Amino acid sequence: MKKFMLILGFFALLNGLLYADNPNEALSKLKEGNARFVTGTQIHPNLDKDRLLNTAKDGQKPFATILACSDSRVPVEAIFDWGVGDLFVIKVAGNVADGDEIGSIEYGTHHLNTPILVVLGHTKCGAVTAVVKGDEVHGHIPALVDNIVPAFESAKEKHSELHQPELIDKTIEANVFQSIKDILSRSSIVAELVKEGKLKIVGAIYDIETGRINWLGNHPEETKFVDAPKEDPHSKHESHESFFTSSNFIFMGIFILVVSLLATVLIVMKTRKK
């Protein structure tokens, strides 16, 4: 029995060594992978049949969650030189963070325990360029690009001397930080993980010409957004359904007061008539 426990302990430790990355280790794994990609020395890990079988059988244990742009020139696993079951990737035009993206990020960081979240913008991003140029957009695209507008506003304000294409580059950077801000100020789950030191959120920009990633670090105002009150969609929903809200109590109080006043007046009038 003792031997069995020892073996079990050994495997738990091995598993821990293989999977329980801390945020800095996970970041190093991404940086090293991108360096291999840039220099053409990829090792293409975790792409064989065994990896498919093992991840299908044991489930996924990715070490990083990545929010990237849908752009076909940003193939996330390839540019980090990782394979199957390594990265939990959310791809959306303009790497924006709206409800569905934030939900996916919560799944990657909280449910799958990835210790790092990278918001990855890229050079020559079409979605960001459309916003800067004020292009007319149709269909469902306006709802998508409205997340980029605040980034453009802040880039314009900070760099009033700049014009295109420099202003586009600055907006791409501001847009990465805008997504980080949107995630932190809307998700209490992600904010809590950052607060506990279990999760690191970093911004980065991928250069589609060189393949190199420019790491921007964390949001300069991270603490402010972590501590900001959240509009938790669940509690908001509940408060709508609940009868016992403060406004309902005030309404009931006024209603009872008015009815009793009316009753008193009626009783007084009736007794006087007699």
Q: Which residues bind Zn ion (CB under 5 A)?
A: 69, 71, 125
**Cβ neighbour number for residue 212 with a 10 Å cutoff:** 15
d(CA 195, CA 222): 10
Nearer to Zn ion, 172 or 191 (CB): 172
Closest approach of Zn ion to the CB of residue 28, in Å: 26
- We find the least distance from the C-beta atom of residue 75 to Zn ion, in angstroms, to be 13
> 34: closest CA among 127, 118, 126?
118
Closer CB to Zn ion, 69 or 183, in the complex: 69
Provide the CA 131 distance to its chain's centre, in angstroms: 21
Nearer CB in complex with Zn ion: 125/193 = 125
β-pairing verdict for 200-206 and 64-68: unpaired
At residue 114's C-alpha, the angle toward residues 29 and 4, to 5°, is 95
Q: Give Cβ neighbours of residue 12 (< 8 Å, ≥ 6 apart).
A: none
Q: How far apart are CA 64 and CA 77, in angstroms?
A: 11
Q: Which is nearer to Zn ion, 27 or 125 (CB)?
A: 125
CB of 125 to Zn ion, least distance (A): 3
Q: How far is the CB of 71 from Zn ion (least distance, A)?
A: 4
Nearest-approach distance from CB 94 to Zn ion, in angstroms: 6
Nearer to Zn ion, 67 or 199 (CB): 67
Sign (positive or negative) of CA dihedral 179, 182, 186, 189 = positive
Q: Terminus-to-terminus CA distance in the chain, angstroms? A: 96
For the CA atoms of 130, 93, 104, 35, the dihedral, rounded to the nearest 10 degrees, stands at: -110
Distance in Å, CB of 258 to Zn ion, minimum? 60
Query: Cβ closer to Zn ion: 63 or 80?
Result: 80
